[in-house]
């Protein structure tokens, strides 16, 4: 066991776990951030995608000893406040980009990396950006539409600063 310090969604955290503990397990079990899902556990499906220093990674393949001093962003950080959604999340809702939901957090994080890097509403580029994320329900089209919609910055009725009111 040893102490590992990093930030999650901007907040500093310290966990005392074995260095080879997967980032995925630390997020879910130690920090109770269960938005990040485990799919295959071997870097194929992308369900556990989080951003590590801004770059999408499979959190099942990252030992916590390598996260020391880094910043981690998870799906929990996308919502600007309780009961509200960020624009990308709202677009998924609007297009029907989620069915069973297991791939959704990973899709959202991969797409966030794409949008943060200035990606536009280009079908091929969007598909490449989520090539590491498998979805067995949607056929991808509605997910791609949601990302394109967000990239284009239109089509979503926003309330407040880029959020959508869920009435919660």
The footprint of other proteins on residues 63-82 (CB under 8 A) is 63, 65-66, 68
For position 58 contacting other proteins by CB under 8 A, the verdict is yes
For residues 88 and 164, give the distance between their C-alpha atoms in angstroms, rounded to a whole number.
10
* Identity of the residue, 53 or 165, whose beta carbon is nearer to other proteins in the bound complex: 53
Window 103-142: contact mask with other proteins (x via CB under 8 A): -------x--x--------------xxxxxx---------
Contacts of 33 (CB under 8 A, 6+ apart): 8, 27, 74, 76
State both tokens at 68: 């020391």
Which residues 6+ apart lie within 8 Å of 10 measured at CB? 71, 77
Number of other CB atoms surrounding residue 21 within 10 Å: 18
- Told to check if 60 binds other proteins by CB under 8 A, we report yes
Nearest distance from C-beta of residue 142 to other proteins, angstroms: 19
In 3-state terms, what secondary structure has residue 26?
A: helix
89 binds other proteins (CB under 8 A): no
Report the interface residues with other proteins, using CB under 8 A: 18-22, 25, 41-44, 46, 49, 52, 55-58, 60-63, 65-66, 68, 110, 113, 128-133
């Amino acid at each position: 066991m040893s102490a590992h310090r990093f930030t999650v969604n901007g907040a500093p955290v310290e966990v005392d776990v074995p260095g080879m503990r997967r980032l995925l397990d630390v997020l879910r079990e130690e920090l109770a951030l269960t938005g990040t899902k485990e799919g295959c556990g071997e870097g194929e499906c992308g369900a556990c995608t989080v951003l590590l220093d801004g770059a999408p990674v499979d959190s099942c393949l990252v030992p916590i000893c390598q996260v020391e001093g880094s910043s981690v962003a998870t799906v929990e950080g996308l919502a600007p406040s309780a009961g509200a959604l960020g624009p990308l999340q709202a677009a998924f809702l609007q297009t029907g980009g989620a069915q069973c939901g297991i791939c959704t957090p990973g899709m959202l994080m991969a797409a966030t990396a794409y949008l943060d890097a200035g990606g536009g509403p280009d079908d091929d580029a969007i598909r490449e950006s989520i090539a590491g994320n498998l979805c067995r329900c949607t056929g991808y089209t509605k997910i791609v539409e949601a990302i394109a919609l967000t990239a284009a910055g239109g089509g979503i009725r926003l309330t407040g600063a880029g959020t959508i009111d869920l009435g919660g």
